[in-house]
Structure 1
Amino acid sequence: MLARKRMRKIRNQTATGCNHDQCCHLVVISHIYSSQGAAALQVSCFSEAERIYMLAKDTTVNNKTLTSLVIPEIVQNDLGDVCPLLVFVNPKSGGLKGRELLYNFRKLLNPHQVFDISNGGPLAGLHTFREVPRFRVLVCGGDGTTGWVLGVLEAVRHKLVCREPPIGIVPLGTGNDLARVLRWGAGYSGEDPHHILVSVDEADEVLMDRWTILLDAQDISEDGEDNGFLEPPKIVQMNNYFGLGIDAELSLDFHQAREDEPDKFTSRFHNKGVYVKVGLQKMSSSRSLHKELQLQVDAQNVPLPNIEGLIFLNIPRSHTHMQCGGVGVIFRD
Structure 2
Amino acid sequence: MRKISRHTANGGDNHPIISIDPSFLPDDASPLLVFVNSRSGGQLGGYLTSQLKQNLNPLQVVDLHKTDPKFALRLFSNLPKLRIMVCGGDGTVAWILQALEELVEIDPKPPVGILPLGTGNDLARVLGWGGGYYNDLVSELLVQIQEAHPAVLDRWEVGIIPADPEGPPPSPKKRRRHRPGTETLVFQNYLGIGVDAQAALRFHRTRNIRPHLFFSATTNKILYGLFGARDFVEHSCAGMNQHVHVIADGVRRDLPPETEGIILLNINSFAGGVRMWEGGDGHGNSSMQDGMVDVVVVFGALHLGQLNWGVDKPVRICQARDVKVIVEKGFPMHVDGEPWEQPACTIDIKLRNKALMLRRTADASGMTVKKMADTLEWARKHEIISNDQREMIMNEAYRRAESDRSSGSQPHSRSASLGNLFDRHMRAKSGSSIEDFY
TM-score (norm 1): 0.70
Q: Within 1, Cα distance between the matches of 2:44 and 2:223?
A: 20
Tell me how far apart the structure 2 counterparts of residues 88 and 175 of structure 1 sit (CA, whole Å).
19
State how far apart, in whole Å, the 1-side matches of 2:267 and 2:33 are: 25
Q: 1:274 to 1:101 in 2, by over 3 A?
A: same
Aligned to 1:330: 356
Residue 141 of structure 2 corresponds to residue 189 of structure 1: no
Answering whether residue 194 of structure 2 is matched by residue 234 of structure 1, we say no
AA of the residue aligned to 2:356: I
Partner of 1:207: 152
1:176 partnered with 2:125: no
Report the Cα offset of residue 308 of structure 1: 1.2
Give the secondary-structure state (helix, strand or coil) at the position aligned to 2:149.
Answer: coil
Q: How far off its partner does 1:257 sit?
A: 3.5
Tell me which of 299, 309, 314 is aligned to 2:250.
299
2:274 corresponding residue in structure 1: 321
Structure 2 counterparts to residues 102-113 of structure 1, below 5 A: 102-113=49-60
The 5 Å alignment of 1:1-333 reads 27-28=11-12, 43=14, 49=15, 72-81=18-27, 82-156=29-103, 158-161=104-107, 163-219=108-164, 232-286=181-235, 287=237, 288-305=239-256, 306-319=258-271, 320-322=273-275, 330-331=356-357
AA aligned to 2:141 is I
Amino acid at match of 1:313: L
Query: Percent identity between the aligned chains?
Result: 36
Which position in structure 2 is the counterpart of 1:17?
Answer: none
Whether contact under 8 Å (1:72, 1:112) holds in the other structure is no
Q: In structure 2, the residue corresponding to 1:144 is in which secondary structure?
A: helix
Aligned to 2:322: none
Instruction: Give me the whole-angstrom Cα distance separating, in 2, the residues matched to 1:192 and 1:77.
Output: 31
Instruction: Deviation per CA, 1:146-168: give whole Å up to 9, x if none.
Output: 11111111111x1225x321111
- Structure 1 residues without counterparts, runs of 5 or longer: 1-25, 29-40, 44-48, 50-69, 221-230
Shift of 1:292: 1.6
Aligned-residue offset at 1:106: 0.9
Q: 1:293 to 1:212 in 2, by over 3 A?
A: same
Distance 1:71 1:173 in 2: 34
1:284 Cα offset (Å) = 2.7
Q: Relative to 1, partners in 2 of residues 1:159 and 1:298: Cα closer, same or farther, differing over 3 Å?
A: same
CA offset digits 1:115-141 (Å, max 9, x no partner): 011224422221221222321111111
Distance 1:96 1:73, change over 3 A: same
Q: CA deviation at 1:105?
A: 0.3
Deviation at 1:178, TM superposition (A): 0.9
SS in 2 for 1:206: strand
- Alpha-carbon distance between aligned partners in 1 of 2:17 and 2:227, rounded to the nearest angstrom: 42
Report the CA distance between 1:264 and its aligned residue. 4.2
Deviates more, 1:139-148 or 1:205-214: 205-214
SS state at 1:105 partner: helix
The whole-number CA distance in structure 2 between the counterparts of 1:192 and 1:104 is: 9
Q: CA deviation at 1:190?
A: 0.5
> Structure 1 pair 198/71, CA: closer, same or farther in 2 (3 Å)?
farther
Displacement, 1:317? 1.2
Contact 2:86 2:93 in 1 (8 A): yes
Paired residue secondary structure (1:201): helix
- Structure 2 gaps of 5+ residues are 1-9, 166-179, 278-285, 288-354, 358-390, 396-438
- Contact kept, 8 Å, 2:42 with 2:215, in 1: the verdict is yes
Decide whether the 8 Å contact of 2:100 with 2:106 is kept in 1: no
1:18-63 deviation digits (Å, cap 9, x = unpaired):
xxxxxxxx543xxxxxxxxxxxx5x4xxxxx3xxxxxxxxxxxxxx
Q: Partner of 1:191: helix, strand, or coil?
A: coil
Instruction: Give 3-state SS (helix, strand or coil) of 2:191's partner.
Output: strand
Preserved CA contact (<8 Å) 2:42 2:118:
no
Partner secondary structure for residue 224 of structure 2:
helix
Supply the distance in 2 between the matched residues of 1:92 and 1:154 (Cα, whole angstroms): 24
8 Å contact kept, 2:11–2:17 = no
Does the Cα contact within 8 Å between 1:240 and 1:314 map onto a contact in 2?
Answer: yes
Between 196-205 and 243-252, the greater mean CA deviation after superposition: 243-252
- Per the TM alignment, residue 87 of structure 1 is displaced from its structure 2 partner at its CA by 0.3
- In structure 1, what residue type is equivalent to 2:164? D
Contact 2:160 2:184 survives alignment (8 Å): yes
Contact 1:289–1:308 at 8 Å: present in 2 too? Answer: yes
Q: CA deviation at 1:250?
A: 2.3
Partner of 2:18, secondary structure, is coil
